[in-house]
Amino acid sequence: MVEKYNIRTDLALEEKERFESDQVEVQGVVLEEEYDKEREIRVTTVRIETENGAKTMGKPVGTYLTIEAPNLSSPDEGIHREVSEELAKYLIEVMEKIIPESEHDKEVLVIGLGNRQATPDALGPYVTDNLNVTRHIVKEYGKYAAPEEMNCVVSAIVPGVMAQTGMETAEIIKGVVRETKPDLLIVIDALAARNSRRLNRTIQIADTGINPGSGVGNYRNAITKETIGVPVIAIGVPTVVDAVTIVSDTMENLLSALETSESLKGVGLVLGGYSEAEKYELIKELIAPNLNSMFMTPKDIDETVKRLSYTISEGLNLAFSGQSFE
Picking from 85, 80, 58, 60, the residue whose alpha carbon sits closest to that of residue 69 is: 80
Quote the least distance from Cβ 99 to its own copies, whole Å. 18
User: Cα separation of 208 and 220, whole Å?
Assistant: 16
In degrees, to the nearest 5, what angle opens at C-alpha 185 toward C-alphas 200 and 42?
Answer: 35
Residue with Cβ nearer its own copies (1 or 286): 286
Residue with Cβ nearer its own copies (57 or 232): 232
Q: Which of residues 290-309 bind its own copies (CB under 8 A)?
A: 290-291, 293-303, 306
In contact, 232 and 185? CB cutoff 8 Å: yes
Tell which one of 19, 251, 280, 323 touches its own copies (CB under 8 A).
251
Quote the least distance from Cβ 199 to its own copies, whole Å. 8
In contact, 60 and 80? CB cutoff 8 Å: no
**17 touches its own copies (CB under 8 A):** no
Which helix (H) or strand (E) segment is 253 a member of?
helix 243-260
Tell which one of 155, 202, 214, 224 touches its own copies (CB under 8 A).
155
Picking from 182, 187, 185, 186, the residue whose alpha carbon sits closest to that of residue 107 is: 182
Picking from 230, 94, 106, the residue whose alpha carbon sits closest to that of residue 173 is: 230
- Tell me which stretch binds its own copies (CB under 8 A): 15-23, 90-98, 175-183, 201-209: 175-183
Quote the least distance from Cβ 145 to its own copies, whole Å. 13
223: left (phi > 0), else alpha (psi -120 to 50), else beta?
Answer: beta
In degrees, to the nearest 5, what angle opens at C-alpha 212 toward C-alphas 110 and 228?
Answer: 45
Quote the least distance from Cβ 53 to its own copies, whole Å. 30
Residue with Cβ nearer its own copies (27 or 180): 180
Quote the least distance from Cβ 281 to its own copies, whole Å. 9
Tell which one of 35, 257, 260, 325 touches its own copies (CB under 8 A).
257
CA 142 to chain centre: 34
Quote the least distance from Cβ 245 to its own copies, whole Å. 11
Tell which one of 6, 50, 117, 260 touches its own copies (CB under 8 A).
117
Written as one letter, the residue type at 232 is: V
Tell which one of 70, 164, 212, 325 touches its own copies (CB under 8 A).
164
- Tell me which stretch binds its own copies (CB under 8 A): 19-27, 30-38, 50-58, 169-177: 169-177
Spell out, one character per residue from 68 to 107, where the chain touches its own copies: x when CB under 8 A holds, - when not.
Answer: ------xxx-------------------------------
Q: Which residues contact 122 (CB under 8 A, 6 or more apart)?
A: 114, 115, 116, 190, 305, 309
**142 touches its own copies (CB under 8 A):** no
Angle, to 10 degrees, between the axis of helix 265-272 and the axis of helix 243-260?
Answer: 110
Q: Which of residues 194-233 bind its own copies (CB under 8 A)?
A: 196-197, 216-217
In contact, 143 and 219? CB cutoff 8 Å: no
Tell which one of 89, 283, 323, 324 touches its own copies (CB under 8 A).
283
